[in-house]
Amino acid sequence: MAPLFVLIGSFGLFWFVNRFVLKEKHSASFMGRVALALMLLMTGSAHFFKTDVMVQSMPDILPYKTELVYFTGIVELLAAIALLFDRIAKLTGILLIVFFICILPANIIGSLKHVELGGMENGPMYLVFRIPLQVFFIGWAYWFSVRH
């Protein structure tokens, strides 16, 4: 739930500041990408502080789970930076859409295992919220990074 609050809250705050203080200096696309970048900074950094819990969400057949958690955290942090550059924002958005699709199984597995992270402890009922949320993140990346 926190990533959603960061995404929506930072976008709303940035929109307000842009409209009333900066006199619409920035585009909606840029503001949406900054909000997504802030969310990715939060979620990406969690990979280094909640590694053990995130490992529990991964499929049992995968080797090098800890390394994969670190790798995906680095991917999120690099994507957060890349979103800020107009020249590579579209490519970054496309790659983030693929990334968001690829990490959905970890959320499903985590909820089936009742992992104590981000609502997954609520079990399969968490997926009623999480799957639409993942679709929302994909839509956000598309709308603000790929489409614009």
pLDDT in tens, the chain (148 residues): 899 999 999 999 999 999 999 999 999 999 999 999 999 999 999 999 999 999 999 988 999 999 999 999 999 999 999 999 999 999 999 999 999 999 999 989 999 999 888 888 988 888 899 999 999 999 999 999 999 7
Domain regions of the chain by residue span: 2-55+63-147
- Rounded to whole angstroms, how far apart are CA atoms 67 and 6? 26
* Inter-residue contact 111 to 127 (CB < 8 Å): yes
* Run of H or E including 61: none
* Single pTM value for the model: 0.94
